[in-house]
Amino acid sequence: MTTTPVHIPVMLERTLELLAPALDVPGSVLVDATLGLGGHAEAALERHPGLHLVGLDRDTDALARAGERLAPFGDRVDLVHTVYSGIRDALAGLGIDQVTAVLFDLGVSSMQLDEAERGFAYAQDAPLDMRMDRTTGITAATVLAEYSEAELRRIFYAYGEEKLAPRYARRIVEARVEHPLERSSQLVELIAQATPRAVQRAGHPAKRVFQALRIEVNGELAALEAALPAALDALAVGGRIVVLAYQSLEDRIVKHELASRTRSTAPAGLPMELPEHSPEFRLLVRGAELADEAERARNPRAIPVRLRAAERLKEAA
């Protein structure tokens, strides 16, 4: 019996509904590029007996727990320790040329949020680590200790969309002269003291700073910008992709990439579209879908989600 904690996968039914036509074909292969605890993957394997799963995750703890959960499926599962931008190399290493489906469930995982010692949650005191892969890379504490005021201001603006970025960056640089910022409670207290009361009433003042640090530490946006084209290129004709994004920066990247792949390349003014100019993909949903009210009430982590999906229509020219 597995000891893996069971979390509710976000938009599970809608995700599997959109992927189903691609999971039912003979020899189907699903790449879960953000495996986490394996909730989406387990449900897909149960419902599609012919499906083979390739699960990717940079978090070795998540891979171990997902491995326990998915062990009953035996050789129908391959797990790979990699950032999702390594999807091309992961598939090549398994001898897989094309896949029929890809899933991205972006952002920080339930496990990472729930384990206080990981330092992702501003509501819990812990060392400021924030690495999704604790085997490599710099920690959030290192960023706070070594980045210049200008660099801190940049990441708070760019990755947290934080209007008070200059104020927070200045206070951090001033504070670290006296003592290093090594725990989340220290950073939360500093931000709270630097935040005007009127702004504090609009939500937790540390939320955007913690998001910015997490994205910087893990290189999340750069990885996503590399991963999406690679994932789309790996899809066979008829293959489908579903992406769940939880903040506007991720969703903007997904929206832009899918828009570029679903647009005709025909020059303006042509009386008719030639086959070679027709789009490679078609969108499966209009805009970004949200979780319904029932799921949002049942699972608060579904509140910010934005789902986008597409299907491959033809091979690249």
Residue ranges per structural domain of the chain: 12-105+220-312, 116-218
Task: Output the six-digit token pair for 91.
Answer: 């598939």
84 is known to lie in a ligand binding site: yes
* Per-residue model confidence (pLDDT) at position 1: 34
> What tokens were used for 185?
């409670």
Mean pLDDT of 2-15: 73
**pLDDT band at residue 2 using 50, 70 and 90 as cut-offs:** very low
Are the C-beta atoms of 206 and 186 separated by less than 8 Å? no
* pLDDT score of 116 more than 50: yes
* Average pLDDT across the chain, whole number: 90
Say whether 105 counts as a known binding-site residue. yes
- pLDDT per residue as tens digits for the range 225-281: 999 999 999 999 999 999 999 999 999 999 999 999 998 665 665 665 556 668 899
Structure confidence by residue, pLDDT tens digits, 69-78: 999 999 999 9
The hierarchical CATH code for the domain 12-105+220-312 is: 3.40.50.150
42 pLDDT higher than 90: yes
Select from 2.20.130.10, 1.10.150.170, 3.40.50.300, 1.20.1050.10 the CATH code of 116-218: 1.10.150.170
**Can 12-105+220-312 and 116-218 be said to share one CATH topology?**
no
CA nearest 126: which of 223, 34, 214? Answer: 214
Q: What is the dihedral of CA 84, 88, 94, 96, to 10 degrees?
A: 120
- Residue 57 marked ligand-binding: yes
Q: What local confidence, expressed as pLDDT, does residue 107 receive?
A: 80
Provide the pLDDT for residue 134: 86
